[in-house]
Amino acid sequence: MQETILTSTQNPRVKQLLALQQKSTERRRTGLFVVEGQRELQHCLEAGYEIDTVFYCPELTVNSENSEYSDYPSIHHLQVNPYIYGKIAYRGGTEGIVATIKARRHTLDDLTLGANPLVIVLESVEKPGNLGAVLRSADAAQADAVIVCDPLTDLYNPNLIRASIGAIFTVPTAVCTTTDCIAFLKKRGIRILTAQLQDSHLYYDTDMRCGTALVMGTESTGLTQPWRDAADAHIRIPMLGRLDSLNVSVSAAILLFEAVRQRQS
């Protein structure tokens, strides 16, 4: 195992780490992404991801006498001082650890769905924090998968990983086109419920006990026409105030736990 202490922001490894945090092009070019914090890293390892490099700062660890960074299997273990850690860490309270991880492909073929699956589908989501929050709710509801169609952000955006608190590693996730997703769901007999205001029924009056895909679009434009045409039912959340929509992550949580309620009753 190679161990090095990094003390300069001009070190090539530090510069690459910052580039991976800031640029999706760099993540795609290298096939690497960044995970920060022991909890998120543990979820990542449990999901079978491979660590490339561990950057750690012993001075900033919680219960550092119990922390063994050499226990994390990786090619490199690089020690940084508190100043450098402050430059590479997105947030405080992450136990003094940041790691670069080897990315995976997320295809529909990688999904294994059981009987009567519960799936969340998001079309053209652009805010990584929203997608991260949806993944967190999907984990809490034990959804079978999250499918992201025609995304405007990548799954390894640091803001997404942070917002999901590691759920990107605990929830099976796929990225595909809308056309491919519709074909995938239809082939498996999964009922498509699109969240929309027009020509819709209240969500709690709609049966979600069978195999169900809850489909949501962007807050600004909603779903594209192919989803509306492919839907088995259109559903809506009642809006009693002056506004006509909720944040997509809030809507996803409401619909997910209605499906949980129905399936447990």
Give the model confidence (pLDDT) of 231-243 as tens digits: 999 999 999 998 8
For 201-225, the pLDDT digits (tens) are 999 999 999 999 999 998 777 899 9
The whole-chain average pLDDT of the chain stands at: 90
User: Does 80 lie in the same domain as 142?
Assistant: no
Task: Specify whether the backbone of 19 is left (phi greater than 0), alpha (psi in -120 to 50) or beta.
Answer: alpha
Per-residue pLDDT for 64 more than 50?
no
Residue 112 near residue 146 (C-beta atoms within 8 A): no
Which of 78, 102, 126 terminates a domain? The answer is 102
Task: Specify whether the backbone of 235 is left (phi greater than 0), alpha (psi in -120 to 50) or beta.
Answer: beta
Q: Which domain holds residue 192?
A: 108-264
Q: How many domains are contained in the chain? A: 2
Per-residue pLDDT for 140 more than 50?
yes
User: Does 135 lie in the same domain as 34?
Assistant: no
Which of 42, 75, 102 terminates a domain? The answer is 102
User: Does 260 lie in the same domain as 150?
Assistant: yes
pLDDT band at residue 4 using 50, 70 and 90 as cut-offs? low
pLDDT band at residue 69 using 50, 70 and 90 as cut-offs? low
User: Does 117 lie in the same domain as 60?
Assistant: no
Which of 102, 123, 141 terminates a domain? The answer is 102
pLDDT at 207: 96
pLDDT at 3: 57
Residue 58 near residue 84 (C-beta atoms within 8 A): no
In three-state secondary structure terms, 263 is helix
Per-residue pLDDT for 177 more than 60?
yes
